[in-house]
Structures are given as C-alpha cells and as structure tokens.
Amino acid sequence: MNLRPKGLVIGIVAAGAFLFGEQNRAISGEPHPHSIARPASRRQLHLPIPDFSLTDHTGKPFKFQTLRGKLVLVAFVYTTCPDVCPLMTASMRLVQEKLPDRKRSSVFLLSITTDPEVDSPQILKGYGERYGIDFSNWLLLTAELQTLAPVWKAFGVGVQRKARGLVDHTPLIALIDGKGVMRFGYVGSSPDHKVILRDIDLLLGSR
C-alpha cells in the first residue's frame, strides 16, 4: 500500500491523541440507584411470618419453624449486589460480632437471597466466607424462584430482576421474635448495628 507519509503520520497522531485522552478521562456514568446511601429507617411492626422451607449454604434443607423460641435477624441480599447488600451484610456481621456470648444462643441470623438465578449454595458459602461470617448461628439461604417468591412476599420484599446478577430489591433487615412475628424492620442501605442490638435486648428482656 502506498499511503502518503504525511497523511499516515497525521492519522496515527490523531488516533494516539484520542486514545491517550480516552484513557485519562474519568467516567461520568451514574451509579446504580440503590448506591445512593441513605440511613435505614426503623419500623416497629407486628407481622406474623408463615413457615417456609429453603436450602442453606451447605445444600441442606432449612425449615424456618426450627428457630421458634429464638430471635431471628433476617436480611434480604444477593451476592453480586454492588451497593446496598454489602452495607447490610456488614451491619449483620457487626451484630453477630458484638453480640455478648450469653445472648448468642438466643439469636440466629439468616440471609435470604433475592437472586436465585446466580446464588447457589456454593456461591452463598463463598460470600459468607469472604465476610468472615461465623456460620454457627448464621445461615445463607436460597431456593428455586417459585419457592423464594412467597417468602419475599411474606416479608413485604419486592424483587425486580434487571439483568443477570443485577437485581433491585427492598433492602430489608427484619427482626423476628421467638413466636415467628416480625417486630422490627430496618429498611435502607445502612442499618446501624447498635440500634439492632438495642432492639434485640428489648425483645430478649420482654420475653
């Protein structure tokens, strides 16, 4: 090919300048709507939760009714969530860590996925390990969509799939009493673990 040197040089310089500029340009895209950090709102409720059966992170079946008599802290999250869920799970992790030993046997934690398409038991186990979760009183649960949908509904959680591994959902952490009744709901991306611990104390004291 017999390109004129001047034209070729101009072309390459133009392409190089464009590329260099591209590499140094900061992204201007908007984050996912959920990433707008808002403090969680605390609501006091009296909502009986029906029994349900799901599969835990080890692949074993789990029945909600086996936790009767204990306080249960339930979070609705999914493992590839890029915004609210890390804050929610980190808050749950702090609750588990700060819980005094004498109350430990009275409290159980559950994370229920809102993305059954991706979150298999194995994926959930890896997620829990990355967070340093103590699995002795914390299970991560999944199931088929048709099994999970009624559970989401029972807790008042809305779930909308946007793309594979990208789901909009109500960012709910719920505190259930020993009779299976939701007593407190924390809706928002950043629930304060101290508030949750105080409510746990309140319910343990009132039994």
Partner 1 sequence: MSIFRLLILSAFIFIAIGCVRSERMENLYAQRCLGCHGPSGSGDGPVAALLPVHVPNFLETVRNKSVTQIRKIIMDGKGIMPAYEPALSKPEVQDMVLFTRILSQRGRNVEWWERFDPLVWAHCNVPWEVVLGYDEPPEENKPR
Which one of 47, 53, 70, 83 is in contact with partner 1 (CB under 8 A)? 83
* Among the listed residues 36, 54, 56, 40, the one whose alpha carbon sits nearest the alpha carbon of residue 185: 40
Which one of 18, 144, 145, 198 is in contact with partner 1 (CB under 8 A)? 18
Cα(71)–Cα(133) distance, rounded to whole angstroms? 18
Interface segment toward partner 1; rule CB under 8 A; list 56-64, 124-132, 175-183, 198-206: 124-132
Residue 145 CB, nearest distance to partner 1 (Å)? 16
**What is the phi/psi pair of residue 68, to 5°?**
-55, 140
The amino acid that residue 61 corresponds to is P
Residues 28-57 that bind partner 1 (CB under 8 A): 28-32, 35-37
Q: With contacts defined by CB under 8 A, how many residues of the chain interact with partner 1?
A: 49
How far is Cα of residue 65 from the mean position of the Cα atoms in its chain?
A: 22
- Please report which helix (H) or strand (E) contains residue 155, including its range: helix 145-155
Strand 53-56 to strand 138-142: parallel, antiparallel, or no bridges (unpaired)?
Answer: antiparallel
Cα(54)–Cα(65) distance, rounded to whole angstroms? 11
Interface segment toward partner 1; rule CB under 8 A; list 12-20, 47-55, 104-112, 179-187: 12-20
Residue 127 in the binding site for partner 1 (CB under 8 A): yes
Binding site for partner 1 (CB under 8 A): 1, 3-4, 7-8, 11, 14-16, 18-20, 22-32, 35-37, 79-83, 86-87, 89-90, 94, 118, 120, 123, 126-127, 130-131, 163-166, 189-190
